[in-house]
Chain A
Amino acid sequence: MSGPHEVILGIGGYLGHDANAALLVDGRLIGASQEERFTRRKHDGDYPRHAIMDCLAQARLSAQDVTDCVFAEKPLQASLFDRAGMAGGLARWLGRVAPESSSGLYSVPARQMFPGARFHFAWHHMSHVAGAFHTGDGQRAAFLCLDGKGEDYSASAGVIDHGELQLRWEQPYENGLGLLYTLVTYHLGFPSFGSEYKVMGLAPYGRPTLVAGLERLFATDDRGGLRLHAAVKFRWPMLDAAAALVTEATGLPARGREQPLTAEHIDLAASVQHVFEREVFKMARFLRRETGERRLLFCGGCAQNCVVAGRLRDARIFEHVANSPIGGDMGSGLGAALLLARHRTKQGAPLRVDPQGYCLGPEPGPAPAAAAPWRVPCAGSLHDFVAGELAAGRTCGWIRGRMELGARALGARSILADPRQPGMQSRLNLAVKFRESFRPFAPAILAEHTGEWFDSAEASDFMNYTAHLRPELRNPPPARLGSLREQLDFPRCALPSVVHVDFSARLQTVRPSVHPDFHRLLTAFHARTGTPILINTSFNVSGQPIVRTAADAWECFVNTDLDLLVLNDEIYRNPGQRTREEKLTWLKTFAASA
């Protein structure tokens, strides 16, 4: 029997953040994982050895079987830009002629691991574009890749179809729109990598009163060509100093991470989100005008801003907007692998892989022995039983099947709760997740009922768009709701824990064809309560990567106030034996990444 003849391993995020790996075997997607889930270091950017081994194990292949290894970055050109400020044509020429050893130690671990493989290096942004296109509906579209940085670019745009990939425009340098958002995130006291989503969540509480101040930081044009005046680099130690630029521009002192959020800080969050949306809309109009395309593919790290993705979709600048399910670098290895597979495919032949609901990681494995005494007997349907417990106000960890790729839990490594319960947002934030109280949760809703609750019935299978609660379901707020606390406490609708103060929600529309097991649970909850919605948040605490194994889940479970844990086909109750002090000590393990 002959083995597979094309085994493509994609590696992304390496020597940066969110290192990851993905495996394609003869054009079939086998698996994809993030290194942080194995090493338990959030955003781990080391060589993704564990993620690679997991992909190979899922394929029942060994390292010798890998025929091609492709990186989601051109390391020499990135390094020339970072270290020598060199970009453009000369850097590209050197990238072609210089020996691979000139890119330092970048590919050494992979070359040692896969001595027989061919090696390739994809443009970082093209990896994002290919990942979104070939796992999506595969229809011709203009693309906008908006990122912190890729080699020495902050944005790339063009047109993609199966038969062509036109890279038409780029924004050189890294000090663009993404970096502006990151600087403000730092200034607001959220210095951990990837905290921009907290600013996005904070923005609806404020008013964009500091836009004029922020505008002192950059030049822009009518095509969204934003560039910071200061030559700031996307390097973490330097960002602390660079955040002082925001103080100079706005007159607002930076917030320490333990200091309370003032009204002005919240207004700054609203202001940067306003600028971000304005510039993205300008870019979209430019692309619509210049390409004539009716569809837009939005991808790159900045596309994780699901608020702007939802607004873009509503604005109808393009008839259809597809936002990448895995906008960040977590999916860049998969994108690079798909780019190489596309390159090998006969010209114009469609290449589409089934992303399997993006549940591409490992199974959880068996429950630890320590869990056995706490097993809850369940004679009937597990889904009906858990639906009943949730309806009774119990919170539940839910660990079933292969784990998700990307930052969002989609019903394989989730914490679930009933959104009708009063005070559930605070209870989950403060006693389970140990995170900021202002952050709302995402509603997972049966896709067939979306239109009854929200103003858009379009699919958002991966929490990649926001929609708004239907007007007739809203309680209009009184004329004046000032503080964050007043806004949080106002009962704005029947499900306040999953609906933001501006009535927006970051939806996961759950379809049986994409997430069948989770759909079954939601159906059981709907049958029991008449509400087709559950709170769905990732199974982790602040600063911790999402749990991967049953053992990870049990450790997290006993250190939080969660009530129940579903591990594979078994249900467990919380022993409740850890003291508050023990829990806090455990929590401090992850504090640096919170």
Chain B
Amino acid sequence: MAKNLRRLGVTLLAQLLRLLGGRPARAGWSRSTRDPLDLTSK
């Protein structure tokens, strides 16, 4: 039971993150805002 609840929680969290962080469905090159020498973020 606890295992199933935990699994449900993980799934819901994944869906929420997808909604928050998902990208619009577009193809092709876009301008990058990443720092190419960023070596600290994981």
Contact = CB atoms under 8 A, between A and B. Distances in A.
Contacts of B38: 123
A80 B17 contact: yes
Contact of A96 (B13, B21, B40): B40
Contacts of B40: 96, 120-121
Contacts of A343: 37, 39
The winner among B22, B27, B33, B40 for most chain A CB atoms within 10 A is B27
A121 B27 contact: no
A98 B18 CA distance: 17
Interface string B1-42: 000000000000110011011110001111111111111111
Q: How large is the interface on A (under 10, 10 to 19, 20 to 34, 35 or more residues)?
A: 35 or more
A342 B36 CA distance: 12
A219 B27 CA distance: 7
Nearest to B20: A90
Nearest to B28: A225
Contacts of A75: 42
A92 B41 contact: yes
B27 A221 contact: yes
Contacts of A92: 34, 41
Contact of A88 (B13, B14, B21, B35): B21
A126 B39 CA distance: 10
A87 interface: yes
Nearest to B29: A169
B23 A339 contact: no
Interface stretch (A160-168, A308-316, A471-479): A160-168
Contacts, number: 110
B29 A86 contact: no
A332 to B, nearest CB: 14
A95 B27 contact: no
A496 to B, nearest CB: 42
Main secondary structure of the interface of B (DSSP, over half): loop
A126 to B, nearest CB: 5
Nearest to B14: A84
Given A84-B18, A86-B17, A173-B23, A165 B32 contact: no
B36 A121 contact: no
Contacts of B39: 70, 120-122, 339-340, 343
A178 to B, nearest CB: 14
A90 B20 CA distance: 8
A223 interface: yes
Contacts of A123: 34, 36, 38
B42 A76 contact: yes
A77 interface: yes
A85 interface: yes
Given A76-B42, A88-B21, A121-B41, A227 B36 contact: no
Nearest to A155: B29
Contact of A158 (B13, B20, B22, B36): B36
A169 to B, nearest CB: 4
Nearest to A340: B39
A314 to B, nearest CB: 24
B21 to A, nearest CB: 3
A329 B14 CA distance: 29
B31 to A, nearest CB: 6
Given A170-B29, A221-B28, A74 B42 contact: yes
Which 5 A-B residue pairs are closest in the complex by CB-CB distance?
A225-B28, A86-B21, A227-B27, A90-B21, A95-B41
